[in-house]
A and B are shown apart, each in its own frame.
Chain A
Amino acid sequence: MSQKQINVASITSVDSKKQKTKWDNLISRLKREKTLWIISGIALVWVAIFAYAPMYGILFAFYNYQPGLGLAQSEFVGLKYFKEFFLLPDVWLILRNTLVISGLNLTIGFVAPIIFALLLNEISNVHFKKAVQTISYLPHFVSWVVVASIMFTLLGNEGVVNEVLIKLGFIEKPIRFMGEGKNFWALLTAANIWKSVGWSAIIYISAIAGVDQELYQAGAVDGLSRFGMVWHITLPSIAPTIILLFILGIGGILNAGFEQQLLIGAPQTRDYHEVIDTYVYRYGIQLGRYSFATAVGVMKSVIGFGLVILSNTLSKKVTDMSLF
């Protein structure tokens, strides 16, 4: 009996000793990591406010939120705003514009940088190649405001493009490029490609540079021509990059651009330029319908997320390549 008690006592004392050392360890650790925790603390406060608080703000979509009131005082309305969006007369127009503009970017706008990269790779003079590539980046670095301003000047009624076309006898009266709904999609796609073709090509150019030179040597032995090499060696070699970027593109199909539409679009072209993002901006910030606009934004994100997963699974099944 007494033996047992002693045993128990010794066990508990060992236990408390262990705890003490554990506790001590923690304290000494925190002391040692004091600076690191202070830095982390600041970073955590910042991320809580500027990244996680807006995520919490998504809940506004389910309430009738009024500025000045908290969520607790606001009325819970469930999915009312989500339904409202689909009952709008504009909804099909907006979805159509979003999908058409994205679709154009994902087809013509997607192929253009690949072709550009392949063509650039065929230039044999290194300096010329480098110069063309550098020039091709330029539009990427300027803002959409600048691009819009340039477009208004170049494509205006008295702009150089109309002037040259008239002088060459192609047209008699100046074409109204800007402010004409029917031209908007073509104009926007052209502007998107002009701005991004060189920049988007970088990733393909570096993929082409990474192709094993021995493949080309083997191709030469097998009698492949220059164009045969592009078709049978270069393209298959960069196919993984192409597919990966295409998956990313499908995931972003609801991001049809935003700044472009706000700057190039005019009230007359609204039927062609209004996309989901500009709609959220107009209703949320300009008209102050916060809850409704948040709901539209949330819906867009959820569908976009679903599309990424879907295209990723498809690609995994069909091509054995995927993002995650």
Chain B
Amino acid sequence: MRPPYIKNSIGGKIFDVFLVIFMLLFSFIMIYPFYNQLIISLNEGLDTTRGGLYFYPRVPTLQNYVYMFKRGNLLRGAIVSIARVIVGTATTIFCSGILAYVTTVKDFSGRRFMRIVYLITMYFGGGMIPTYLLISKLGLMDTFTVYWLPGLFNAYYMLLIASYIYGLPESLTESARIDGAGDLRIYIQIILPLCLPVLAAIAVMAGVGHWNSWFDVMIYNPSGKWDTLQVHLRRILLDVEQLQKLKSDQQQAAEMRKLTPESIRAATTMIVTIPIVIVYPLMQKYFVGGITIGAVKG
């Protein structure tokens, strides 16, 4: 609501009308590309190539999705993707959280040292090639471990959680300590439940990051054994081999004649996008919260 002391002139009212039109157009540009993929994915591939497909599928079919799940190893990709999100997010939250806790225990002698050792990693790094060589030296190539181990402790998450712990009343941990609780127990039973808001924000950040990442999958999984959905999509997008596979599949089975690379790609795009579209409006407040915490901390 605009406060009443701001007067709206005639020019202002005309501007308001154009503003609404502009914002509607803006929203359309943001949404329509996704919607376009959706209707292509639900339309028969050959029919799509005739053009004129704008707002609803003309020959509705689910065969694009069926093909991807049946032939395209998409199910395995989906399982790997989901596993990566769950394992990667859970481990980084638990470990970054415990690190944050360690740096906030008031009279712990290593507290400053740990904080500094990790802060340095926020500003300096080895870069792409040394990291790549390290991963291959550690034997992490073509393993699932490469998805979560290199991100186990995160300095930025540590800062976010630590600043949240500082805001908690100290008496809580002190009374637990007097009652004889150990540090691990204090962390798991007191700190973690109290930190839920900030942990939720980080979970969304980390989870979306894991779901969307494809470059590390591509370079650390040359064999394709642990391919995620994103990499499947990239392959359909850029690999010629995948197209040839589709062609040979089409020659074998009659019901696949009507598939096209575009329709299959659209179906895969939708499978990758739909979870995000469902989750992000719900998680919005956590996300925005995370940004503002980061901004306050500088």
Label chain B's interface by main secondary structure. helix
Kindly list chain B residues whose C-beta atoms are within 8 Å of the C-beta of A168. Answer: none
Q: Which of B110-134 contact A (CB under 8 A)?
A: 110, 114, 117-118, 121, 124-134
Structural contact, A290 and B133, CB atoms closer than 8 A: yes
Q: Does A47 contact B (CB under 8 A)?
A: yes
Q: Which of A217-248 contact B (CB under 8 A)?
A: 217, 220, 225-227, 229
9 A-B pairs within 8 Å (CB atoms) are namely: A43-B99, A67-B136, A134-B281, A136-B26, A138-B31, A149-B265, A202-B288, A263-B238, A294-B127
Structural contact, A143 and B1, CB atoms closer than 8 A: no
Chain B residue with Cβ nearest A301: B127
Kindly list chain B residues whose C-beta atoms are within 8 Å of the C-beta of A77. Answer: none
- Selecting from A1-9, A91-99, A101-109, A124-132, the interface stretch reads A124-132
| Cα(A36)–Cα(B103), bound, Å | 9
Contact with B along A150-175 (1 / 0, CB 8 A): 10111010101001000000000000
| Cα(A259)–Cα(B214), bound, Å | 9
Kindly list chain A residues whose C-beta atoms are within 8 Å of the C-beta of B193. Answer: none
Structural contact, A145 and B272, CB atoms closer than 8 A: yes
Interface residues of A, count at CB 8 A: 84
* Contact with B12, one of A50, A145, A203, A226 (Cβ below 8 angstroms): A226
* Contact with A160, one of B54, B184, B281 (Cβ below 8 angstroms): B54
Interface residues on B, range: 35 or more
Structural contact, A297 and B127, CB atoms closer than 8 A: yes
Q: Which of B202-221 contact A (CB under 8 A)?
A: 208, 211-215, 219
Q: Does A319 contact B (CB under 8 A)?
A: no
Minimum CB–CB distance from B157 to chain A (whole Å) comes to 13
| Cα(A259)–Cα(B33), bound, Å | 20
| Cα(A47)–Cα(B152), bound, Å | 9
Q: Does A75 contact B (CB under 8 A)?
A: no
Structural contact, A150 and B34, CB atoms closer than 8 A: yes
Kindly list chain B residues whose C-beta atoms are within 8 Å of the C-beta of A284. Answer: 128-129, 132
Chain A residue with Cβ nearest B114: A40
Structural contact, B269 and A149, CB atoms closer than 8 A: yes
Kindly list chain A residues whose C-beta atoms are within 8 Å of the C-beta of B297. Answer: none
- Selecting from B60-68, B70-78, B229-237, the interface stretch reads B229-237
Chain A residue with Cβ nearest B123: A305
Kindly list chain A residues whose C-beta atoms are within 8 Å of the C-beta of B280. Answer: 137-138, 141
Chain B residue with Cβ nearest A294: B129
A54, A124, A136 — most chain B CB neighbours (10 Å)? A54
Contact with B along A133-147 (1 / 0, CB 8 A): 011111101111110
Minimum CB–CB distance from B25 to chain A (whole Å) comes to 11
Contact with A along B66-110 (1 / 0, CB 8 A): 000000000000000000000000000001001100100100111
